[in-house]
């Protein structure tokens, strides 16, 4: 027995045997790692980019609005130039996007569709033509029934009209947007 505790070797540091130092290569790698972490942390804190971002490539949001003082059927007809037939029912309207858009819906007898389109100065509706590509609080985006649609611009108002069957009537969906 050599007199040392179990698991302890005789290579303990002494005044004549100092601990081994890492090689200069390992010290350089450790120093670079620390510097990289410090620089990365500073970039995260300060935003990381001092370059001028340049001009924006995002199109500006339109600022014109619709004159939405009268949301009755007569007011909507005057605003849009849409001539709603006398047989219309279930009229609803909803303001959207800071008065830049008005969504309108109503039902008509199928026989009134031709008069609605021609009296409103719209081109003929095209079967399968989806012209309203968003969901409104007034209707379902995908009604599950065939639809026909047409869109145009009249006096700085973008008009999009879709028609879909609903029972024995047609559901008219109209979106008016400030041009």
**Using one digit for the tens of pLDDT, what is the confidence trace for 41-86?**
767 777 655 555 555 565 555 568 888 888 888 999 999 999 999 9
pTM of structure: 0.61
For the chain, what is the domain count? 1
The pLDDT of residue 4 is above 80: no
Is 66 contained in some domain? no
Is 29 contained in some domain? no
Output 162 or 58, whichever has higher pLDDT: 162
What is the C-alpha separation between 35 and 32, in angstroms, rounded? 5
Residue 41 has what DSSP assignment? H
pLDDT (0 to 100) of residue 38: 82
Output 178 or 140, whichever has higher pLDDT: 178
**Using one digit for the tens of pLDDT, what is the confidence trace for 139-153?**
655 567 788 999 999
Place of tokens 């990289």: 36
Q: How confident is the model at residue 96 (pLDDT cuts 50, 70, 90)?
A: confident
The pLDDT of residue 10 is above 60: no
Q: How confident is the model at residue 176 (pLDDT cuts 50, 70, 90)?
A: very high
- Write 25-31 long-range contacts (CB < 8 A, 24+): none
The pLDDT of residue 137 is above 90: no
CA angle 100, 102, 107 (to 5 degrees): 165
| Helix residue spans in the chain (DSSP H) | 24-46, 73-80, 113-119
What are the Cα distances from residue 42, in Å, to 35, 37, 38? Answer: 11, 9, 6
Mean pLDDT for the chain?
80
Query: Where in the sequence is the domain holding 128, given as residue range(s)?
Result: 73-178
Is 121 contained in some domain? yes
Least confident of 23-27, 42-46, 135-139: 135-139
What is the C-alpha separation between 174 and 65, in angstroms, rounded? 17
What is the C-alpha separation between 115 and 21, in angstroms, rounded? 95
For residue 35, the cross-strand partners are none
Is 136 contained in some domain? yes
Is 56 contained in some domain? no
Residue 40 has what DSSP assignment? H
């Amino acid at each position: 027995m050599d007199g040392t505790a179990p698991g302890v070797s005789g290579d303990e540091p002494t005044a004549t045997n100092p601990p081994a130092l890492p090689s200069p290569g390992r010290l350089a790698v450790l120093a670079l790692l620390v510097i990289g972490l410090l620089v990365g942390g500073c970039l995260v804190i300060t935003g990381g980019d001092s370059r001028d971002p340049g001009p924006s490539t995002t199109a500006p949001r339109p600022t014109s609005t619709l004159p939405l003082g009268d949301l009755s059927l007569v007011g909507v007809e005057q605003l849009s130039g849409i001539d709603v037939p006398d047989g219309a029912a279930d009229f609803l309207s909803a303001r959207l996007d800071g008065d830049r858009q008005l969504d309108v819906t109503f039902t008509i007898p199928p026989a009134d569709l031709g008069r609605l389109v021609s009296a409103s100065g719209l081109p003929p509706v095209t079967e399968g033509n989806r012209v309203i590509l968003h969901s409104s609080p007034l209707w379902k985006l995908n009604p599950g029934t065939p639809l026909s649609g047409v869109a145009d611009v009249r006096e700085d108002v973008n008009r999009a009209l879709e028609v879909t069957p609903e029972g024995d009537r047609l559901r008219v969906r109209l979106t008016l947007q400030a041009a």
